[in-house]
Amino acid sequence: MITPAPSDVLVFFGATGDLARKQIFPALYGMVLAEELDVPVVGVAFSEWGLEDLQKRARESVTAAVPDVDDAALETLIGLLRYVDGDYRDPATFAALKESVGDAHRPVHYLAIPPVMFATVIEGLAGAGLNQDARVVVEKPFGRDLASAQELDAVVRGAFPEESVFRIDHFLGKEEIMNLLYFRFANSFLEPVWNRDHIASVQITIAEDFGVQGRGSFYDSAGALRDVLENHMLQIVALLAMEPPAYQGYGAVHEAKANVFRAIRPLTRNDIVRGQFDGYRDEPGVARGSDVETYVAARLFIDSWRWAGVPWYLRTGKHLPATVHEVIVEFKKPPQALFDDAMMAQHPNHLRFRLQPDGEIALGARVKTPGEEFVGEQRELVASTGGAAARRPYERLLADAIQGDRALFTSEDSVEAAWRVVDGILTDHAPAIRYAPGTWGPTEADTLIGGDGPWHDPSLRDSNGRK
Ligand code: BG6
């Protein structure tokens, strides 16, 4: 295989925005520190800013995110910055960008902008010839639904060949998410039990204890379904549910994941509970009568040989009691009641993947309590994962995009198959149910999980006393 040539300039749209401030500048700094970034970085925005404003923003952003800033690395990053200000609908903006890009002839354009602007920017790039030998990195959500994703894809593919399109889902750049793939297929003990014969249900929680953090206007156009469930959560489902990739290589992983999305039964209104935290409608940028969900719980089924009949329960939301991402795979009970107390345990065995804030993989099992009686207690065998070496997801992903490595990006097939899962419920759903901030969302979600519940509370200490 021919190794793709690295890009020689990084252009990023949305340079004055929230994503840039919170994630992108710290990632660029990390890339400089790791000697992965030495090409010019051109910020583009429509904010009436100048280069000094952008440099100031970069300094503030890095200092706020990184504990012990390496001054030399930060100054190197500042020295790489350029800035173009202008309306994305105006060809003059792209003419100015072309000038700023100068002699570079393999740009990578990163669109850290609201999805409604994607098509405009891509057309602007093509109009100025900035798509030649270039790559484009597109943020999620890629489209608003299946139809708009297909339309957007037509625009993108009109200007860039598929191998130059990088659809980003930053969860795929997280160590803990990569570890799902690794743990499943680097071990042999899992495969015999990783199916409907042994697994009772799976729960995935992506909980956040904060609200929309000033992103009301973006969030009100997305909601939890588009913001997290359709992408981050379904990616986790795919990594857990996929068949073993047919060969060593990411093409095989992409294909195996897309096959999971294709096998997921499209969600209907009875499969979900939507919630909205009290006070959401008073957030700046949010429509007063908004019915957008800040919480969603879903029950889905994967109609495949491996997973037939196994319910997958997903929930995500803002203003929940904790910020924690966790997967619990519940195994079926032993077939015979040899020990009464063990049979009383709802799920004596589980595998728990803590993805955030700390990486952990734990196997839940019953262990006999010392004494005459055959009684025991729930314990966990725990392995910590991740750790200090973990890089910021955007650091990894942008460095990969510069190098032309598409392994951790999503394919159009996958994106469309994932939209197909949620397409019906984007419009056909019951009104969002209000919930108080700091709670686990509407109690109707308990009815949804029913006898497979209760929902696991990932903020609780486990039996070993760990949080
Ligand atoms: C983003 C969503 O994609 O992911 C946010 O837009 C969410 O609403 C965030 O908070 C969660 O990602 P992380 O990496 O901060 O846990």
Q: What is the pLDDT of residues 21-57, one digit of tens each?
A: 999 999 999 999 999 999 999 999 999 999 999 999 9
* H/E run at residue 357: none
Which of 19, 206, 210, 227 most suits a substitution to test ligand 1, by most atoms within 8 Å of the C-beta? 227
User: pTM here?
Assistant: 0.94
Task: Identify the band that residue 467 occupies on the pLDDT scale cut at 50, 70 and 90.
Answer: very low
Task: Identify the band that residue 308 occupies on the pLDDT scale cut at 50, 70 and 90.
Answer: very high
Tens digits of residue pLDDT in 209-223 = 999 998 999 999 999
Distance CA 211, CA 435 (A): 13
Domains and CATH numbers, the chain: 9-139 (3.40.50.720), 172-391+409-466 (3.30.360.10)
Name the residue at shortest CA distance from atom 8 of ligand 1: 227
Residue of 391 and 324 predicted with greater confidence? 324
Task: Identify the band that residue 384 occupies on the pLDDT scale cut at 50, 70 and 90.
Answer: confident
For residues 321 and 207, the answer to whether their CB atoms sit within 8 Å is: yes
pLDDT over threshold 60, residue 462: no
Q: What is the mean pLDDT of residues 89-97?
A: 98
Exposed/middle/buried for 76, CB within 10 Å: 0-12, 13-18, 19+? Answer: middle
pLDDT over threshold 70, residue 387: no
For residues 211 and 437, the answer to whether their CB atoms sit within 8 Å is: yes
Task: Identify the band that residue 458 occupies on the pLDDT scale cut at 50, 70 and 90.
Answer: confident
Q: What residues have CB less than 8 Å from 396, skipping those under 6 apart?
A: 173, 408
The single residue of 232, 319, 350, 456 carrying the catalytic annotation is 232
Tokens 């200007």 found at: 159
227 ligand 1 Cβ < 6 A: yes
DSSP 8-state secondary structure symbol assigned to residue 392: P
Distance CA 66, CA 393 (A): 14
Tens digits of residue pLDDT in 246-265 = 999 888 999 999 999 999 99
Name the residue at shortest CA distance from atom 4 of ligand 1: 228
pLDDT over threshold 90, residue 443: yes
What is residue 129's predicted lDDT score, i.e. its pLDDT? Answer: 96
SS3 (DSSP) at 37: coil
232 a catalytic residue: yes
Distance CA 166, CA 397 (A): 9
330 ligand 1 Cβ < 6 A: no
Residue of 340 and 444 predicted with greater confidence? 444
Per DSSP, what are the bridge partners of residue 85?
45
400 ligand 1 Cβ < 6 A: no
Identify whether 141 is preceded by a cis peptide bond (ω within 30 of 0): yes
227 Cα to the center of ligand 1, angstroms: 8
For residues 315 and 298, the answer to whether their CB atoms sit within 8 Å is: yes
Name the residue at shortest CA distance from atom 14 of ligand 1: 171
Computed over every residue of the chain, the mean pLDDT equals: 94
pLDDT over threshold 80, residue 389: no
Could you tell me what percent of the chain has a pLDDT over 70?
96
Tens digits of residue pLDDT in 357-383 = 989 999 999 999 999 999 999 999 999
SS3 (DSSP) at 233: helix
Could you tell me what percent of the chain has a pLDDT over 90?
88
Sign of CA dihedral 350, 354, 355, 359: negative
Task: Identify the band that residue 465 occupies on the pLDDT scale cut at 50, 70 and 90.
Answer: very low
